[in-house]
Amino acid sequence: MKTLKALPSTERHTAEYRDALTRLVRAVAAVQRGDGFWNVDLADATHLPGPETSGTSFLLYGTAYAVGARLVDRDTFLPVAARAWHGLVAEAVHPDGFLGYVQNVGDRPESSQPVTYDRTADFGVGAFLLAGTELARLTTS
């Protein structure tokens, strides 16, 4: 998203990046969980099925950007973004503001399991803030 924001529309790869983001947003909307999160393994809902904040935040960020940039239909994809935000705030944000359910860095998803309510990492907080900022921009567009 930051790359798309920085690239001039005339740059030869801009259309390719827009297309990739559009395809990603459409694909992940189809596998979003009812609680708004996306699973660690997007292809298998039963593999590592708990909530996970960083991936959900990054997918929310991309979805909100795509809506705001009019790359995808607002009426279809704004509810996807809103569901993700609601899930994050309702499940991952502690009463004191601590952000949980962040999968730590590892060489594969299994290496940092289990992801729990009390697990966090700086990059997960950053992703959450990016997502919230991008979603908030939609209220002014």
**Over 70: is that where the pLDDT of 141 sits?**
no
> In the predicted model, is pLDDT for residue 123 greater than 80?
yes
Q: From residue 30, how far is each of 26, 45, 49 by CA, in Å?
A: 7, 12, 16
Q: Counting beta carbons within 10 angstroms of the beta carbon of residue 19, is it exposed (0 to 12), middle (13 to 18) or buried (19 or more)?
A: exposed
Question: Is pLDDT above 80 for 1?
Answer: no
Structure tokens at 28: 């992940």
pLDDT tens readout for residues 88-105: 999 999 999 999 999 988
Contacts of 56 (CB under 8 A, 6+ apart): 36, 37, 38, 84, 87, 88
Query: For the whole model, what pTM was predicted?
Result: 0.93
CB 60 within 8 A of CB 84: yes
Find where tokens 């590892």 sit: 106
